Chain A
């Protein structure tokens, strides 16, 4: 819930000696900071969970290991030390070296008052001692394999990754209206506007935001709009305008559960249909759905390239889970070459919609060259002037739709993961990639392949080919009606089974493994009965 004043909340940190793309239900160590915390996490705590907390505030909880936060804060003369004490205690339990821990904390406060860093270092140091004490007293041993293999890994959240991808795509203009969970991208780009010379506008509404972005693209800038499903719904008419005037547009949609206001701070993959169909009339578009922060970076950059090259609206479809989670990855691949602006200088008799075999007319911008650039929301002729001529109409519809073929040829192929021979394919798109991969491994089912589709529209031809090779197709989606499964059926003809979740949270590894196993059992039962 949007609790600005605070309330019961929890953060999960999953530690492993490999990259992690999902969360698990099981909690090994619960650090309870207040009396409500244990109840808040009750569903995920059992007899094997080590509960660490201050007995004087949370009372006698079974299995509690006392860590007197209040008393230590008093002793340190720092009533705000609780968080860093907790961090220190976890570091102690996990046997993280003191020097690594302390230099991390100092780095966290780099550029701030030195007293702040020293105060927090004192707290983590003290917390670490408490952690070592707990290990000694309980006789517990935590053995998390170690390796330097990750020392150079990056940790980024989805919003940062989309923002960096936009910068890599040449974004120099952002106009948006704040809406969770899309706002993080706006804030990220705003915080770097002066380094990169960006125009940033917090618009009066989503309609203004989208129209400003389109005006910027028309003038040769590369604009981004970030929003969520409800805000995007207001932009539908502008998406249609982008299709009509063949001016690029890039929109990032961070999904959250709808309809209407829904669950504003939770997650869902419920807006694929909306983004696929937004805008009246018929025109091509591209939709990207990253499965990690690294993909969010790469696909956002790609959305800019595709929008510019094909003169179509391009969408980056993420969700609250992807945007607000921190993802480990290799350093992002940032080329030395900047993006290419696909615009041309015009001559005196320039025609914005000059005929072209692939439908893509050279795009001039006002003020560059001798010509004028005329774009019209009405049906228009080659010059961009209003027309009702039926022959011109058909020619222009065909020209706009011709771009769809070229766009499809540039579609990204799916990623396929399989260790041996397979007869069942588990399909996912967007943020469920990590959890599907891990759950498929844990489900105990043999003969599984996992296919992740990073571009739900237009689909790469190999999606259909791979589906055709499977005996069973299972589509995992964070929505209630199986929107992607329906799209696959419409585009490839293949029916599938769905594993769905729509309670506002992402799949955990355990529940998806159970879901996949149950789906397999049902399928087997049906085959035996028939």
Chain B
């Protein structure tokens, strides 16, 4: 699939200059370079400007409820492990409304890529604070500035034992494509926290601010070293970019759940064994007489 073929006719509803355009391009390039067929790619999303992304991709799409893209994506992969599944949405969608699912999706380790557009502000609802907004950030609601500690998604994911944790920045499309490709091919849950500017509602964390306040992890960083990853995640200097941690040695949710241990077919291709059901029902109904 060529990147151009993944575009659909609909005109994006994003503001000119929005970081979402770059993420759309990054995702299109990543799936094209991996040769993912359009009919085997499913992108789930919730609600928000970021969650509109699958509207502009030529692939299967489940654009569901605010915050709920992860349980949907987990179930899709568990019902047909042959599909490529991406859950995509913004920082409010994934870390706020869907925070509980973020925690428990990591614990299940479903074989999905989780791409979070992180612009540190709410766009769809017009400029309120998000879970990743910095302290002091003023909005029409947080009139004296944000008084809550910003959520650190990288540290949260690492602390919960996520098997792949990365951060990327839309200002560097080539390297972001590589990171998303690694996430897509990772066995298990893969988080990509994708930093992006919001040109309309975030005058603080601008494109220039991200340029000045991010750095790539040193080439000496070992993605197999969870402690080093954690140290980089909580470093108070510039925000680190790149793959913090990756461990492909752990079984993913569909591999561990048992449903595929003796039958690799997707659930939809299986027929219920009615003889076996009849004998189970008789055993239950007859109790010890069976």
Contact = CB atoms under 8 A, between A and B. Distances in A.
B80 A220 contact: yes
A443 B128 CA distance: 65
Q: Is the interface of B mostly helix, strand, loop or mixed?
A: helix
Interface stretch (B27-35, B67-75, B213-221): B67-75
B267 A173 contact: yes
Contact of B272 (A110, A215, A338): A338
Interface in B239-290: 254, 257-259, 262-263, 266-268, 270-278, 280-282, 284-290
A386 interface: yes
Nearest to B8: A385
B101 A110 contact: no
Interface residues of A, number: 79
Q: How large is the interface on B (under 10, 10 to 19, 20 to 34, 35 or more residues)?
A: 35 or more
Contact of B76 (A172, A209, A218, A368): A218
B10 interface: yes
Interface string B67-100: 0100111111011101100000000000000001
A19 to B, nearest CB: 14
B60, B73, B254, B262: residue with the most chain A Cβ atoms closer than 10 Å: B60
B285 A155 contact: yes
Contacts of B47: 377
B26 interface: no
A193 interface: yes
A197 B263 contact: yes
B47, B65, B257, B270: residue with the most chain A Cβ atoms closer than 10 Å: B65
A328 B125 CA distance: 57
Contacts of B108: 201
B64 A203 contact: no
A373 B60 contact: yes
Nearest to B287: A155
Nearest to A212: B75
B59 A372 contact: yes
B281 to A, nearest CB: 5
Q: Is the interface of A mostly helix, strand, loop or mixed?
A: mixed
Contact of A341 (B10, B74, B268, B282): B268
Contacts of A366: 39-40, 42, 60, 76, 80, 83
Contact of B74 (A154, A168, A215): A215
A192 interface: yes
Interface string A169-209: 01011010000000000000000111111111101110111
Contact of A213 (B58, B75, B103): B75
A211 B267 contact: no
Interface of B: 8, 10, 38-40, 42, 44, 47, 52, 54-55, 58-65, 68, 71-76, 78-80, 82-83, 100-101, 103-104, 108, 254, 257-259, 262-263, 266-268, 270-278, 280-282, 284-290
